[in-house]
Structure 1
Amino acid sequence: MSEPTIKSVRVLTVMGNFEWPIVKVELSNGLIGYGECHRGPGIKEILRRAEELIKGKEVNIEYLLRLIRKHVPNSEWGVVNNAISGLETALWDVKGKLTGLPIYELLGGKVRDRVPVYADLHAGTGIKETGGKRWVELAGTEVAYNVENYIKRAREAMGMGFKYIKFDVDVPEEMMETEFDRTFSMRIVKFVTSFIGGVRDAVKYDVDIMIDGHWAFSVPTAIAIARELAKYDVFWFEDPVPPENIDAMREVRLKSPVPIATGEKLYRLSQFRELIEKEAADIIHPDVQRLGGLLEMKKIAYLAEEYYVPVAIHNISSPIGTMANAHVASTIGDFIAIEWHAIDLPWWPDMVREGMIIKDGYITPPKKPGLGVELNERVAIEHARDQGEVKEFLG
């Protein structure tokens, strides 16, 4: 009996707290697999071209990825990899359903039964995206930068079982000369870090605190912020300077008294190779829905292990992408945690039929075939960005 082949590749962009491009692969025997891409322009067009290349072929994932990368321009890095990442996850999901195995088994088997998750708490208030504006602009400084809100959010996450939490140290725009500033006075440095001291006093050491810099600072200001953060024993300082200059990141890392984490904007093994070999990060923090997929994440994790660099995963995804991350994370030796960005989105769990996948700060990848969760298409359609995509997605 012949093996089933790929019948179609479709995408539906769901508007959550971020855009979630959900990929759906259907086989000739009716089996369906789901994946998720990191947001980006042109994903639908890239996936349409990928469908032309792989339609009618069997689910041989390594071959299909090489075929796409050979024939789709600019696949070395950039948004093509966002599209490939979501498609590859959908292929793993359907491959698991064909073989009766969960994705973590297809990736070589797990080393942990459950995967830690950290709660991103922003700057003490919820995240919104409206017209491209940063959420802190919408919230206002008096709301976002308030130590009581930081403490309230920390305790809320701790009450949900999280052992890791993350806050931002973005500089409010009203404190900047221009929106392009990267170098700031010590007055501002102490302002944006002071709230972390309030959190540490309140929560003691019952939870680890991560800090996100959003690539916002020059090297001197990043080092100054790191020195202030060291007073509060933070777990890491993430993305202190822009990601494209690895040497600048290395300089910060060498002079920082706290660990430096970075990597969410990098693509594929080639870019992580430079970061790791130059010892520019204490912790790598890839985005699996952006970097090229689960296989690429495994390659990066193997290289990091050779340099004794631990791994965490950046994640702004729906439960589909988040569960894919949990599968690959369960196979990585020195793994810290997966990010969760959706503490303020009440319908986030409803995106899959199984409901909430995070319990007491952990995800347990299911033993069921594939991802082990199924997209709730009704909820996805309710929140679709473009209702014109819905008919095509449903087939």
Structure 2
Amino acid sequence: MANKKETYESTLAHVNTFSSPSELRITDIRFADIVGAPMHCSLIKVYTNQGLVGFGEVRDGADKVYAQMLKPRLLGENPCNIDKLFRRIKQFGGHARQGGGVSGIEIALWDLAGKAYGIPIYQMLGGKFRDKIRMYCDTDVEGKDTGTAMGKALKKRMEKGFTFLKMDLGIGQIIDEPGTLSAPLGFLEEWRAANREYWQARRNPNVSVEELRRLKNRQYEYNNIAHPFTGIHVTEKGLDMLEQYVAEVRAEIGYEVPLAIDHFGHIGVEDCIKLGRRIDKYNLAWMEDMIPWQYTNQWKRLASAVSTPLCTGEDIYLKENFKPLLESGAVSIIHPDVLTTGGILETKKIGDMAQDYGVAMAIHMAESPVACLAAVHVAAATENFLALEFHSVDVPWWDDIIIAPKLPKPLVQNGFIHVPDAPGLGIEELNDEVIAQHLHPEVPGLWEPTDEWNHYVGNDRLWS
């Protein structure tokens, strides 16, 4: 009898007890906000009537209200009808962080569908082109930021097995050196003061609400001046210093390993061209987000003036908004974030569209393992995929956010993530003990009820 019982229980362990996907219904949506992973992330749980829970995540630094407002539009619906529900909610998303709510919920729907049917997400997307996903590693410098110091930091990444690297290069590295930048007199000092005073005030409990609001509004105004309108220019001395920085990095890491560059600062296309021509010779993988993605004609000017591949896309919502850049021939790599595009299926569609134009797809990612695994499934199922970003090498508890016995730990090994075969994203549960230790101090709740959103109603139809 003991053997029969053991056989029955071992067999039951392989049976999907959630065997009524057609009857699955969404019953609740809740959130937990964490910091330091490396960014502020709002994790999502979508609950169902069969005990299945789907996991999602709002884009790093975004407001979770973009996801909360979707709850009354999803309660009672079958999460397996992913495309139907996405078409219902996508009007409530937008570019950059405003796409974070729709995208995060869409990921949770895929997770639920995979768990309901017992298959991994990549298989529902048509199968995989690869068994492991190449990660490219963003890197910062401790102490004085010199090219040699950055080169040594990047070499440490290579020693961990990373085969694709990225670093920052821009006006932030030369702003303290006299004679490197020109701008309307006093403008740079005012901009820096606006940022400094706001963040100092946030840490000071004695600052009034009115004063904090004034400082926040001032900081917002400076930080939202787009590149063509700042009046900031890089001098020959500044260009010399930035070129020397890249030369020092290549002297440390060599020329064989791909090296991408980001965060140039708010400078116009003419200065981007001057800088790009200076660093073309250093065999860079790409130059990223040199100007806002909306300025298609400026991207064309830039592409015709430099030989280094150009890359953008992390702030673009929905497939159709990538098309002007692809049609113009201005970019060699598109760079969507699964938590901005609209989610998993939209990112897959974007990659497939880019392939028709001979353009590769890298994926931007600066979030928790939830968003990371969503991107892994997309990367596995998209043929023209190049590399997936990873910001959390130096976050020791990053892997502990999830409970996933069928996944390797650490998730990133020798610069790659193996594509999981477990159902859905591959995550069995989120680790509430770890999450509780890293809750955002200003948003401390752990999966608290969101009943106040249950009955919001509105006429959402976009036509009469």
TM score, norm. by length of structure 2: 0.76
Q: Please tell me the residue identity of whatever aligns with 1:174.
A: D
Q: Please tell me the residue identity of whatever aligns with 1:38.
A: R
Structure 2 counterpart of 1:50 = 70
Identity %: 31
Q: 1:280 to 1:189 in 2, by over 3 A?
A: same
Structure 2 counterpart of 1:358 = 412
Larger Rg: 2
Residue pair 1:243, 1:263 contacting (<8 A) in 2 also:
yes
Q: 1:272 to 1:322 in 2, by over 3 A?
A: same
1:112 matches 2:130 = yes
Structure 2 counterpart of 1:155 = 155
Residue pair 1:169, 1:193 contacting (<8 A) in 2 also:
no
1:65 matches 2:73 = no
Q: 1:346 to 1:61 in 2, by over 3 A?
A: same
Cα deviation for residue 334 of structure 1 reads 1.4
Structure 2 counterpart of 1:129 = none
Structure 1 counterpart of 2:220 = none
Q: 1:185 to 1:357 in 2, by over 3 A?
A: same
Structure 1 counterpart of 2:445 = 389
Q: 1:82 to 1:305 in 2, by over 3 A?
A: same
Q: Please tell me the residue identity of whatever aligns with 1:18.
A: M
Task: Give RMSD over aligned pairs.
Answer: 2.0
Cα deviation for residue 41 of structure 1 reads 4.8
Residue pair 2:39, 2:61 contacting (<8 A) in 1 also:
no
Distance in 1 (alpha carbons) for counterparts of 2:397 and 2:256: 29
Q: 1:89 to 1:144 in 2, by over 3 A?
A: farther
Cα deviation for residue 50 of structure 1 reads 1.2
SS of 2:33 mapped into structure 1 = strand
1:370 matches 2:424 = yes
Deviation per CA, 1:123-170, whole angstroms, max 9, x where unpaired? Answer: x24xxxxxxxxxxxxxxxxx3422332122111100111111111112
1:256 matches 2:306 = yes
Q: Please tell me the residue identity of whatever aligns with 2:374.
A: A
Deviation per CA, 1:313-359, whole angstroms, max 9, x where unpaired? Answer: 11111111111101101111111100111222222222222442111
Q: 1:339 to 1:229 in 2, by over 3 A?
A: same
Structure 2 counterpart of 1:380 = 435
Structure 2 counterpart of 1:227 = 277
Structure 2: which 5+ runs fail to align?
1-19, 192-229, 452-464
Distance in 1 (alpha carbons) for counterparts of 2:314 and 2:50: 37
TM score, norm. by length of structure 1: 0.89
Distance in 2 (alpha carbons) for counterparts of 1:11 and 1:189: 46
Distance in 2 (alpha carbons) for counterparts of 1:78 and 1:337: 20
Distance in 1 (alpha carbons) for counterparts of 2:97 and 2:137: 26
Residue pair 2:333, 2:362 contacting (<8 A) in 1 also:
yes
Distance in 1 (alpha carbons) for counterparts of 2:318 and 2:290: 21
Deviates more, 1:226-235 or 1:93-102: 226-235
SS of 1:57 mapped into structure 2 = coil
Cα deviation for residue 267 of structure 1 reads 1.3
Distance in 1 (alpha carbons) for counterparts of 2:281 and 2:355: 29
Structure 1 counterpart of 2:29 = 9
1:22 matches 2:56 = no
Q: 1:230 to 1:82 in 2, by over 3 A?
A: same
Distance in 1 (alpha carbons) for counterparts of 2:120 and 2:385: 20
Q: 1:219 to 1:81 in 2, by over 3 A?
A: same
Distance in 1 (alpha carbons) for counterparts of 2:277 and 2:449: 50
Distance in 1 (alpha carbons) for counterparts of 2:144 and 2:282: 20
1:280 matches 2:298 = no
1:35 matches 2:35 = no
Structure 2 counterpart of 1:146 = 146
Q: 1:202 to 1:48 in 2, by over 3 A?
A: closer
Structure 2 counterpart of 1:128 = none
Q: Please tell me the residue identity of whatever aligns with 2:412.
A: I
Distance in 2 (alpha carbons) for counterparts of 1:392 and 1:91: 20
Residue pair 1:170, 1:216 contacting (<8 A) in 2 also:
no
SS of 1:167 mapped into structure 2 = strand
SS of 1:392 mapped into structure 2 = coil
Q: 1:391 to 1:328 in 2, by over 3 A?
A: closer
Structure 1: which 5+ runs fail to align?
126-142
